[in-house]
């Protein structure tokens, strides 16, 4: 864990330009960070990076509930002095990037942890996570329950990771689950559209088509994401897809993926051979059936590795 001053970290991680307001009823406007930091409600994460997992708690006793029920202490708790409602911020040691070529495995893991925390904290499941109370603004009561930032693995220990850890399952539309579903559904649509549809004469035309499809996907969520977030996701996906999923680009991408897969298979095979030889060395009279049972593979696999090496 990294010891730090959460408020300093918060300030350093703010976007250079972000949405802010003193009253949401008057709309959101983009400000440079020098002006953004003065607003009461602001964008806490940069466009393509998630440094804070943020939760909206609408209970009048939000501040005491998490302590009584042994829930993870937030790094920053920002409380409305008038009604007790709060935003809880959990800082990640290593921010997770969410641009097109970022790790989808890391994004999904983060979304699953976020869903679990939303449920555990009984936070608002429809909260879009774009803006939150500014802990540097004197309008709010700001408390620092914990100074050390979290890893995703550490946060996962506080929640029951749902069955949606299975990548074949869609995530529920809670918290970052919507972001993850939008990203996955839209990129798959864009890949297929780019490879099979040659009507697009420019990247701009393709970007417009991806953006429209993103808005269609978003409209089906019970609590849609903000349009600017959909546009940002669509833009990053369309730019990467236009470059890498053309006829020639797709061949190169597929070749690189195949090479990586073959290298992984070779490494795994060599590790298995090493284990088999070690067992055979320690127990010269052991039967192949017994080695197969020990390693959880077929007898034919044991025989092949012994004969080929």
Q: Is the pLDDT of residue 131 over 70?
A: yes
| pLDDT score, position 22 | 95
| pLDDT score, position 272 | 76
The DSSP-derived string for 193-234 is: HHHH-----SHHHHHHHHHHHHHHHHHTSSSPPPHHHHHHHH
| Count of C-beta atoms within a 10 Å radius of residue 297 | 16
CA distances to 267, 291, 295, 301, 309 from 273, rounded to whole Å, are: 10, 12, 11, 10, 8
Select, from the ranges 70-74, 247-251, 285-289, the one with the highest average predicted confidence (pLDDT): 70-74
Region 15-36: what's the mean pLDDT?
A: 94
Kind plus residue range of the DSSP H or E element containing 141: strand 141-143
Reported as a pLDDT band with limits 50, 70 and 90, residue 251 is low
| pLDDT score, position 229 | 85
Region 241-265: what's the mean pLDDT?
A: 66
For the record, the structure tokens of 101 come out as: 């070529």
- Cα 93 to its chain centre, rounded Å, is 14
Q: Is the pLDDT of residue 147 over 60?
A: yes
Nearest to 309 by CA among 286, 281, 283: 281
| pLDDT score, position 138 | 94
Percent of the chain with pLDDT over 70: 86
| pLDDT score, position 219 | 92
141-150, 192-201, 262-271, range with the lowest pLDDT: 262-271
35-44, 82-91, 140-149, 168-177, range with the lowest pLDDT: 168-177
Distance, CA of 85 to CA of 65 (rounded, Å): 11
Region 69-90: what's the mean pLDDT?
A: 93
Strand order in the sheet with 141-143: 49-57, 86-97, 76-79, 141-143
Distance, CA of 181 to CA of 184 (rounded, Å): 5
| pLDDT score, position 252 | 61
Kind plus residue range of the DSSP H or E element containing 90: strand 86-97
Cβ burial, residue 124 (10 Å; 0-12/13-18/19+): middle
Region 11-39: what's the mean pLDDT?
A: 94
Reported as a pLDDT band with limits 50, 70 and 90, residue 2 is very low
Cβ burial, residue 33 (10 Å; 0-12/13-18/19+): middle
Do 124 and 223 form a contact (C-beta atoms < 8 A)? no
Q: Is the pLDDT of residue 217 over 70?
A: yes
Percent of the chain with pLDDT over 90: 42
Q: What is the mean pLDDT of the chain?
A: 85
Q: From the DSSP assignment, how many helices (H) and strands (E) are in the chain?
A: 11, 8
| pLDDT score, position 1 | 43
| pLDDT score, position 73 | 94
Region 130-142: what's the mean pLDDT?
A: 96
Q: Is the pLDDT of residue 199 over 90?
A: no
| pLDDT score, position 66 | 81
């Amino acid at each position: 864990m990294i010891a730090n001053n959460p408020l300093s970290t918060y300030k350093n991680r703010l976007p250079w330009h972000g949405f802010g307001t003193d009253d949401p009823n008057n709309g959101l406007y983009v400000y440079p960070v020098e002006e953004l930091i003065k607003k009461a409600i602001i964008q806490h994460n940069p466009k393509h990076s998630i440094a804070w997992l943020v939760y909206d708690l609408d209970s009048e006793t939000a501040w005491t509930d998490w302590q009584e029920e042994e829930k993870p202490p937030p790094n920053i708790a920002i409380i409305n002095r008038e009604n007790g409602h709060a935003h809880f911020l959990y800082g990640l040691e290593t921010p997770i990037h969410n641009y097109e070529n970022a790790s989808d495995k890391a994004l999904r893991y983060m979304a699953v942890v976020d869903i679990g925390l939303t449920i555990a904290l009984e936070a608002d499941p429809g909260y879009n996570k774009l803006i939150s109370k500014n802990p540097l603004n004197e309008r709010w009561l700001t408390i620092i329950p914990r100074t050390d930032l979290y890893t995703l693995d550490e946060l996962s220990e506080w929640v029951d990771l749902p069955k949606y850890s299975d990548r074949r399952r869609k995530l529920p539309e809670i918290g970052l689950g919507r972001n993850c579903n939008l990203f996955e559904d839209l990129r798959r649509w864009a890949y297929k559209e780019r490879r099979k549809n040659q009507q697009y004469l420019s990247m701009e035309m393709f970007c417009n088509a991806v953006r429209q499809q993103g808005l269609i996907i978003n409209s089906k969520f019970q609590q849609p994401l903000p349009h600017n977030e959909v546009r940002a996701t669509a833009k990053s996906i369309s730019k990467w897809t236009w470059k890498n999923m053309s006829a020639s680009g797709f061949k190169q991408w597929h070749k690189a993926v195949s090479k990586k897969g073959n290298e992984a298979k070779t490494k795994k095979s060599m590790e298995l051979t090493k284990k088999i030889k070690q067992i055979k060395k320690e127990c010269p009279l052991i039967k192949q059936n017994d080695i197969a049972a020990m390693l959880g593979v077929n007898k034919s696999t044991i025989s092949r590795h012994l004969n080929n090496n």
